């Protein structure tokens, strides 16, 4: 039975399919058979012969050529162009070892042909003939694992005299022989014990030739890549002597001292005693495997051997963690020692580092087991320990604490979220925010940033837990991050409201400011409603744009990227806030100051303008061209700037676009559904107040207020036959128009119409009198305009009544043009 099994394995290793390339460029299957190398009938040439496995006919007869016509593709295909048959042929092997074997034989025959042509008769066909006989025996005999070398049938007993023969057997075996050699080594139970004894004898006698041969032999045994051999090599009784044999590398002039390093310098430190001897044995073995792989033989081992050793390390880690996590008393003792006040600072430090390594190695466990372990650690009070660790001055401990948090967040973020919500004072979240803005060193602020991003990520959590953690962050900590940016920027040309909060410039690492800006962009994308209210209340956009005054260009680019993120979300309230407060001014000024230098700043601003044009953000198109066109003469040759001007003229020429509206990206609908329910209710409730505010502004000199059911107001018209597109009440009182660039009356009318959609109530013109609206109304359009106006009033007044009044009274608004009394007529005439 065993012989039959071996025969089948032998046949399958040289089982091939023969393919021929037809005229249409497709490979035709010529049949399946077994390949061998033999003398072609009637000639003395060696060639490839494929015999059909069913009919015993020849599928292929090919004389091996000395020309370089053969190609090996991947691991199982040999192809060539046959000059005699004038066709391209290919052999597809069932197994990779068979392909490798035939390929080696072809290369050997080609070398012999070249030597024969040079007159080297000693290297004639004899090696090829020996290979031929071995191939025949491989196919015909029952001993399938019989190799080219008859010496591989048995290994001689290890001794100094037999060492050269064993070394030759191990080092010169081919791919198909490696398994057989490994079996022979494992068959001899005393192989490694005898090898170790021989090494000790040669070392005592200072027999360097013998030591060099043992080094090469051990290296060759490693390259056999046999897991069972690795288990024996790394056994406790052999490993140190095996490492000692690798100290005598003939290519290194000095003898290495690996054993003395492992015995004298490597200290196994136990943060808490481990009583299980099997766990200790696996820990020591894992370290020695890593030392041999990374220090002793890094240049010798191939990828396959490295993969096997890494698998052993991974398996050992899984065994160690599995045994420790099942030991309940061991886990409880760790946390009990951490809570004891009598425990020294050094011992607590070792325990924290042990927990860090313990959690890191838990990745070797299965997903379910890892999650169960993390839940057990959280129940024991791990997060309390991490909270204390983050307050430490030891950078290594702080780094270990943040890495533990990241491991927990990657496995189950809700574990940490639940702790932050239940914690009084939210000290852990406050420490994380403090870590972002503090230069602890080694770029650890990036780790804190990653922790906070995962905590507030709206895509990884839902329900009340998400709402609570996001509310805590936005109400308590986000304003602090924005103030850090404002306080780190020079206060030149800033508004009074910002200058008050950033009177003193703090020295903050530029990379920290860039990370804060990145986090704000993340917040805009994931929590648009929260950021809208927070930004309007805290003047966040103005403060972030202070980065344009920094010397570091990458911070200026970060500010531009922040503005680009806000614009891309097309929030109507924020866009009108940008126009009202002239917030693109610092970006345009930075662009002009940069000049014609082609860099990230230049590209970032052009991309922002291109986005505004392509997405047809009408409010910003009109605002940018009217406010900054005269400042961009040296850039008007750029295609992006020219296209923006064309878009501006199209908006003015098209009557439907004169009432500039902010379009909402339909792709936001899906994301908006995932936003907080409380936030939507908050803004829905404000809309009622907004309607009343807008309504009172239209009739504040009248005692009677009336509304139609559709939301429009019934105002008498002073002219008959005049029908307006939209009812714009209180033109004199509410109008906000950028400086007019037109001289003709018609152009002025168009400007008034274009910016009638972005009116603002100005407290700096108290003497303006109300005028009765003279235009008839279209109910649907009127409702849209009034709601939009009311929304921006509510977004500014409801979230920050006092803040908005401060900005208006301090002159923060961009300069307003004189009231254009002809705007109503422009609407009618348009």
Q: What is the pLDDT of residues 348-400, one digit of tens each?
A: 899 999 999 999 999 888 889 899 999 999 999 999 999 999 888 888 899 99
**pLDDT band at 152; cut points 50, 70, 90:** low
The pLDDT, as a whole number, for residue 506 is 66
The pLDDT, as a whole number, for residue 464 is 67
Say if residue 110's pLDDT is above 70.
yes
Q: Is 470 helix (H, G, I), strand (E, B) or coil?
A: helix
**pLDDT band at 535; cut points 50, 70, 90:** confident
Interacting residues of 242 by C-beta distance below 8 A, sequence separation 6+: 192, 196, 218, 233
Q: Is 110 helix (H, G, I), strand (E, B) or coil?
A: helix
* 134 vs 331 pLDDT, higher one: 331
452 vs 626: CA distance, rounded Å: 41
Q: What is the mean pLDDT of the chain?
A: 74
- What is the mean predicted confidence (pLDDT) over 254-262? 90
**pLDDT band at 754; cut points 50, 70, 90:** very low
- What is the mean predicted confidence (pLDDT) over 393-412? 90
Q: Is 60 helix (H, G, I), strand (E, B) or coil?
A: strand
The pLDDT, as a whole number, for residue 231 is 92
Enumerate the β-bridge partners of residue 70: 80
Q: Are 711 and 783 in contact (CB under 8 A)?
A: yes
Tokens of 418: 């639940």
The pLDDT, as a whole number, for residue 199 is 93
- What is the mean predicted confidence (pLDDT) over 811-827? 36
Q: What is the pLDDT of residues 300-313, one digit of tens each?
A: 888 989 999 999 99
Interacting residues of 799 by C-beta distance below 8 A, sequence separation 6+: 533, 536, 537
Q: Is 48 helix (H, G, I), strand (E, B) or coil?
A: strand
Q: What is the pLDDT of residues 171-213, one digit of tens each?
A: 887 777 788 888 889 988 899 999 999 999 999 989 998 999 9
Query: What is the DSSP secondary structure assignment for residue 341, as one 8-state letter?
Result: T
The pLDDT, as a whole number, for residue 245 is 93
146 vs 139: CA distance, rounded Å: 10
427 vs 483: CA distance, rounded Å: 20
575 vs 376: CA distance, rounded Å: 48
Q: Is 32 helix (H, G, I), strand (E, B) or coil?
A: strand
Say if residue 342's pLDDT is above 50.
yes
**Region of poorest pLDDT, from 313-322, 393-402, 490-499, 725-734:** 725-734
Interacting residues of 471 by C-beta distance below 8 A, sequence separation 6+: none
Query: What is the DSSP secondary structure assignment for residue 599, as one 8-state letter?
Result: S
Cα separation of the two ends of the chain: 99
**Region of poorest pLDDT, from 3-7, 543-547, 548-552:** 3-7
- What is the mean predicted confidence (pLDDT) over 90-94? 90
Say if residue 436's pLDDT is above 70.
yes
The pLDDT, as a whole number, for residue 446 is 86
Name the most confidently modeled range: 311-315, 341-345, 666-670: 311-315
Compute how many other C-beta atoms are within 10 angstroms of the C-beta atom of residue 75: 12
The pLDDT, as a whole number, for residue 601 is 92
The pLDDT, as a whole number, for residue 18 is 92
* 728 vs 367 pLDDT, higher one: 367
**pLDDT band at 405; cut points 50, 70, 90:** very high
**pLDDT band at 461; cut points 50, 70, 90:** low
DSSP code string of 223-287 = HT--HHHHHHHTSTTTHHHHHHHTT--TTSSS---HHHIIIII-----SS----HHHHHHHHHHH
DSSP code string of 346-379 = HHHHHHHHHHHHHHHHGGGS-HHHHHHHHHHHHH
Question: Which of 10, 3, 227 has its CA nearest to residue 97?
Answer: 10
Report the predicted TM-score, pTM, of the whole model to 2 decimal places. Answer: 0.58
Query: What is the DSSP secondary structure assignment for residue 124, as one 8-state letter?
Result: S
Question: Which of 277, 275, 276, 247 has its CA nearest to residue 259?
Answer: 247
Q: What percent of the chain has pLDDT over 70?
A: 69
Question: Which of 152, 259, 282 has its CA nearest to residue 203?
Answer: 259
The pLDDT, as a whole number, for residue 462 is 59
**pLDDT band at 566; cut points 50, 70, 90:** very high
Q: What percent of the chain has pLDDT over 90?
A: 27
**pLDDT band at 291; cut points 50, 70, 90:** very high
Angle between helices 427-437 and 445-455 (to 10 degrees): 140
């Amino acid at each position: 039975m065993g012989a039959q099994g071996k025969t089948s394995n032998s046949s399958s290793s040289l089982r091939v399919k023969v393919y021929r390339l037809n005229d249409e460029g497709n490979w035709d299957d010529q049949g399946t058979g077994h390949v061998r190398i033999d003398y072609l009938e009637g000639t003395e040439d060696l060639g490839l012969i494929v015999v059909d496995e069913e009919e015993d006919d020849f599928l292929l007869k090919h004389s091996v050529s000395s020309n370089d016509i053969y190609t090996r593709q991947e691991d199982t295909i040999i192809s060539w162009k046959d000059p005699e048959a004038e066709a391209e042929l290919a052999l597809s092997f069932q197994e990779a070892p068979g392909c490798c074997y035939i390929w080696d034989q072809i290369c050997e025959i080609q070398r012999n042909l070249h030597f024969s042509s040079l007159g080297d008769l000693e290297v004639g066909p004899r090696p090829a003939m020996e290979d031929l006989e071995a191939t025949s025996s491989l196919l015909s005999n029952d001993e399938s694992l019989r190799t080219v070398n008859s010496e591989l049938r048995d290994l001689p007993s290890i001794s100094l005299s037999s060492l050269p023969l064993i070394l030759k057997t191990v080092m010169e075996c081919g791919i198909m022989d490696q398994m057989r050699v490994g079996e022979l080594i494992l068959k001899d139970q005393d192989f490694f014990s005898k090898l170790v004894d021989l090494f000790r004898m040669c070392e005592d006698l200072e027999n360097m030739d013998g030591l060099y041969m043992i080094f090469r032999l051990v290296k060759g045994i490693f390259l056999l890549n046999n897991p069972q051999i690795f288990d024996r090599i790394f056994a406790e009784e052999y490993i140190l002597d095996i490492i000692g044999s690798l100290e005598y590398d003939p290519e290194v002039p000095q003898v290495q001292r690996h054993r003395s390093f492992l015995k004298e310098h490597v200290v196994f430190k136990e943060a808490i005693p481990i009583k299980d001897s099997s766990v200790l044995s696996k820990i020591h073995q894992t370290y020695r495997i890593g030392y041999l792989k990374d220090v002793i033989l890094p240049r010798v081992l191939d990828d396959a051997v490295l993969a096997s050793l890494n698998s052993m390390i991974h398996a050992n880690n899984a065994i160690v963690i599995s045994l420790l996590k099942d030991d309940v008393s061991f886990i409880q003792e760790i946390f009990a020692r951490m809570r004891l006040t009598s425990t020294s600072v050094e011992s607590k430090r070792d325990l924290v580092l042990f927990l860090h390594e313990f959690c890191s190695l838990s990745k070797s466990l299965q997903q379910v087991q890892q999650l169960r372990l993390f839940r057990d650690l959280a129940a024991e009070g791990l997060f309390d320990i991490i909270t204390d660790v983050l307050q430490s001055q030891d950078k290594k401990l702080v780094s270990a604490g943040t890495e533990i948090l990241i491991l927990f967040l990657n496995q189950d973020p809700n574990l940490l979220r639940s702790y932050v919500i239940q914690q009084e004072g939210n000290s852990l979240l406050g420490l994380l925010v403090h870590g972002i803005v503090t230069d602890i060193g080694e770029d650890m602020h990036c780790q804190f940033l990653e922790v906070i991003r995962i905590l507030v990520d709206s895509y990884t959590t839902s329900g009340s837990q998400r709402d609570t953690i996001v509310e805590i962050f936005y109400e308590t900590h986000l304003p602090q991050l924005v103030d850090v940016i404002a306080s780190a920027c020079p206060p030149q040309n800033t508004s009074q409201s910002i200058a008050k909060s950033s009177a003193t410039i703090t020295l903050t690492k530029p990379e920290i400011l860039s990370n804060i800006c990145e986090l704000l962009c993340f917040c805009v994308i994931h929590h648009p409603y929260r950021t809208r209210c927070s930004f309007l209340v805290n003047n966040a956009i103005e403060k972030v744009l202070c980065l344009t005054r920094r010397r570091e260009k990458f911070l200026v680019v970060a500010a531009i990227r922040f503005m680009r993120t806000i614009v891309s979300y097309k929030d109507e309230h924020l866009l009108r806030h940008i126009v009202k407060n002239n917030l693109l001014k610092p970006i345009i000024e930075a662009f002009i100051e940069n000049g014609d230098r082609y860099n990230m700043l230049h590209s970032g601003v052009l991309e922002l303008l291109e986005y505004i044009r392509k997405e047809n953000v009408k409010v910003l198109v009109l605002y940018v061209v009217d406010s900054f066109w005269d400042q961009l003469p040296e850039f008007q040759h750029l295609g992006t700037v020219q296209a923006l001007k064309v878009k501006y003229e199209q908006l003015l020429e098209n009557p439907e676009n004169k009432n500039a509206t902010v379009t909402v990206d339909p792709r936001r609908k899906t994301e908006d559904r995932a936003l907080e329910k409380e936030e939507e209710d908050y803004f829905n409730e404000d809309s009622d107040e907004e309607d009343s505010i807008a309504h009172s502004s239209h009739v504040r000199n009248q005692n009677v207020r009336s509304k139609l059911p559709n939301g429009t107001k019934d105002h008498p018209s002073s002219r008959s036959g005049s029908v307006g597109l939209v009812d714009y009440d209180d033109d004199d009182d509410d109008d906000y128009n950028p400086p007019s660039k037109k001289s003709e009356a018609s152009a002025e009318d168009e400007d008034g119409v274009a910016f009638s959609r972005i009116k603002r109530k100005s407290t700096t013109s108290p003497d303006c009198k109300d005028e009765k609206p003279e235009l008839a109304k279209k109910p649907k359009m009127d409702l849209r305009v009034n709601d939009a106006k009311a929304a921006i009033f509510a977004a500014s007044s409801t979230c920050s009544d006092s803040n908005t009044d401060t900005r208006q009274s301090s002159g923060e608004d961009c300069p307003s043009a004189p009231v254009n009394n002809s705007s109503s007529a422009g609407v009618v005439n348009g």
